[in-house]
Amino acid sequence: MEYETPLFFHVMQYAARADRDVIDMVSGNPDWEPPEALREGLREYADFEPDRFQYPPSEGLLELREEIAARRGVDTEQVIVTNGAGEANYLAMARALERGRGSEIILTDPVYPYYPGKTTMLDGTQTFVAADEDGQLDPDAVRAAASEETAAIVANSPNNPTGAVYPEATIGELVDVAEEYDAILISDEVYDHYDLSGEFASALSVDSENRIVTNAFSKSLAITGFRVGYAIFPPELVDDARSRHMLVNVAGSRPSQYAVLQALRETPPEYYETNRELLRERVDTFTDALDETGAEYTTPQGSFYVMARFDGYPGTLANVERLIDEAGVAGMPGEAFGDSRSDWLRFALVTPRVEEAAKRLATHFE
């Protein structure tokens, strides 16, 4: 088997090794503060008795699962705390494939590259459905692609890399398609707290045995290094997912889960709104400055990313490396996200230097 290794770490390392100042806009690592309660939770943890330094329950701390379940309106038994949304997606895809209803996973183009990578690793086959220019997904196109072979449809809203936020009707119809073919809609909602449009709809708003929702605190609490996420399974699918989680990981990180629980309990809504406001400002600053470059670009409705297309400069890895060396701006090649955006570059707005980055791009493409 040939694994498809996502390019993120390669580009990050290339940028880190560069012989010049580089503005890092490669991956979605927030540069803003986590909630204060999270830091306090961690400090508290250092002084706990040694028993709290031992294995937590494999499926996650009970109080954290209860907190998640209460917030999401599901049963605690449906919640597995995972090693980020990354593991949640892996468990969901594995569970969908092992139901034996088919081996095809329907993905979008453009796509978050870890999904095709995981599909291959799990011995599934990939079918891509093109999103439109705005990144919206037409459920009828998904229906047309679906068949008895379809094990899962993976949707991500707010979307990486397009910034699209799917309306409630789209999510509802995607669940319908999954039900029609007895497949599973996997709804990756890791950017739910960065909905800048007010249009975000969770797949949990539709009651169905045919959907799994995945999420994490990596982005919402600005802690991609903590590795705390979760998956919400329909009751009849959760047991085997829990076993797979245990066999792969034994358990997740206990101090991280404790600190996340404290943060969930103590953090007011203003924390999340402040971060959305910061992102809105960065989107405006970056896209205004991009206007100077004559580039075409996307204005995200959610998530952290702006895609830009510079005339005569396709989104290849070689061009991304050139941009790092010659302009001092590091983005991701559009080709990493599928054929449809291979002319584009993706920039993550996770640096206060977005205006300077756009100016560097303007100078470079003058």
Ligand X SMILES: Cc1ncc(COP(=O)(O)O)c(C=O)c1O
Q: List residues near ligand X by CB under 6 A.
A: 28, 84-86, 112, 156, 160, 188, 190, 216, 218, 224, 229
Q: How far apart are CA 296 and CA 171, in angstroms?
A: 28
Encoded amino acid at 165, one letter = V
If the CB atoms of residues 258 and 305 are measured against ligand X, the closer one turns out to be: 305
Backbone angles phi, psi at 156, to 5 degrees: -135, 115
SS3 317: helix
CA dihedral 58, 61, 64, 70 (to 10 degrees): 70
Q: How far apart are CA 218 and CA 196, in angstroms?
A: 18
Shortest Å distance, C-beta 349 to ligand X: 13
If the CB atoms of residues 150 and 218 are measured against ligand X, the closer one turns out to be: 218
Shortest Å distance, C-beta 112 to ligand X: 4
Q: Minimal CB distance to ligand X: which residue?
A: 84
If the CB atoms of residues 85 and 357 are measured against ligand X, the closer one turns out to be: 85
SS3 146: coil
Q: Can you point out the beta strands (E) in the chain?
A: 23-24, 79-82, 104-109, 125-130, 150-156, 184-188, 211-216, 229-232, 296-297, 305-309, 329-330, 332-333, 345-348
Shortest Å distance, C-beta 144 to ligand X: 24
Shortest Å distance, C-beta 231 to ligand X: 11
Tokens of 206: 């539709």
If the CB atoms of residues 275 and 293 are measured against ligand X, the closer one turns out to be: 275
Shortest Å distance, C-beta 304 to ligand X: 8
If the CB atoms of residues 112 and 344 are measured against ligand X, the closer one turns out to be: 112
Residue owning tokens 């990180």: 253
Strands 305-309 and 329-330: unpaired
Closest CA to 201 of 153, 164, 151, 150: 164
Shortest Å distance, C-beta 141 to ligand X: 20
Burial class (CB in 10 A: 0-12, 13-18, 19+), 258: buried
Shortest Å distance, C-beta 190 to ligand X: 5
Shortest Å distance, C-beta 56 to ligand X: 18
If the CB atoms of residues 289 and 350 are measured against ligand X, the closer one turns out to be: 350
If residue 158 lies in a helix (H) or strand (E), which one and from where to where?
none
If the CB atoms of residues 150 and 162 are measured against ligand X, the closer one turns out to be: 162
CA angle 43, 274, 194 (to 5 degrees): 95
If the CB atoms of residues 215 and 293 are measured against ligand X, the closer one turns out to be: 215
